[in-house]
Amino acid sequence: MFSLNHGGILVAMSTAMDDPDVLTEKKDINENMLGGKKVKIIFVLGGPGSGKGTQCSNIVEHFGFIHLSAGELLRAEINSGSENGTMIDTIITEGKIVPSEITIKLLQEAIIKGGNDKYIIDGFPRNEENRVVFESVISISPEFVLFFDCSEEEMERRLLGRNQGRSDDNIETIRKRLKVFVESSLPVIEYYESKGMVKKIDATKPAPEVFEDVKAIFTHMA
């Protein structure tokens, strides 16, 4: 079983039910280890509507990763009636970025619940604060960063046609999200680029063609 300690650091705590021999053992996550298991994380980044969610579903189906979407986790938090729900809802509707401690706590909980050793994390880190806080709280470095590169015109067209009832899929919020992407998210991608960790995909192409390029990357990493 896993839990958060008082400092918010993720710890793995074995209980009698999990393993009676290590009843009180606690292990921090570090150097990509979680509860004694090596955990692989891939960050999936790209502008709003670039096709992150679409391609993550394909990756789950073909390569056995667990897909965690930061945006989905935040929307679920709103729908759960949590005390932060109204604040998160306002931020999303304004196309801004939710404070990192909230998003990272949701990611931590989802990783623990997932119990897997391979995660694709979609839409995170969205800004430098996300990146730095994740690095300090969850000491797992991504294997690489998958970047879906798409033109703004195409992203806007897709979002206006998405029709999933999202409060941020309207032209006013879409324009704000595109601005936030350029000002706050691209610098994170550039940071990883400077470390040689970015695998860039032309995401303007039709979805099946994009997946062929994604497949080539994941097949080679297996």
Ligand X SMILES: Nc1ncnc2c1ncn2[C@@H]1O[C@H](COP(=O)(O)OP(=O)(O)OP(=O)(O)O)[C@@H](O)[C@H]1O
Ligand Y SMILES: Nc1ccn([C@@H]2O[C@H](COP(=O)(O)O)[C@@H](O)[C@H]2O)c(=O)n1
- For residue 221, the Cα-to-chain-centroid distance in whole angstroms is 19
Phi/psi for 118 (5° steps) reads -135, 120
Q: Which is nearer to ligand X, 131 or 158 (CB)?
A: 158
Amino acid identity, position 30: N
Strand-by-strand arrangement of the 2-4 sheet: 2-4, 10-13, 26-28
Is 111 a residue that touches ligand Y (CB under 6 A)?
Answer: no
158, 185, 201, 218: which one binds ligand X (CB under 6 A) = 158
The CB-of-45 to ligand X minimum distance in angstroms stands at: 9
Q: Which is nearer to ligand Y, 45 or 112 (CB)?
A: 45
Distance (Å, whole) CA 188 – CA 178: 15
Is 166 a residue that touches Mg ion (CB under 5 A)?
Answer: no
The CB-of-6 to Mg ion minimum distance in angstroms stands at: 33
Is 125 a residue that touches ligand X (CB under 6 A)?
Answer: no
Binding segment (CB under 6 A) for ligand Y, from list 78-86, 120-128, 132-140, 196-204: 120-128
Distance (Å, whole) CA 48 – CA 152: 9
Q: Measuring CA to CA, which residue among 151, 68, 178 is closest to residue 168?
A: 178
Binding segment (CB under 6 A) for ligand Y, from list 13-21, 57-65, 124-132, 186-194: 124-132
Are the C-beta atoms of residues 112 and 19 closer than 8 Å to each other?
A: no
Which residues make up the interface to Mg ion (CB under 5 A)?
53
Which residues make up the interface to ligand Y (CB under 6 A)?
48, 69-71, 74, 91-92, 95-98, 103, 123-124, 126, 130, 168, 177
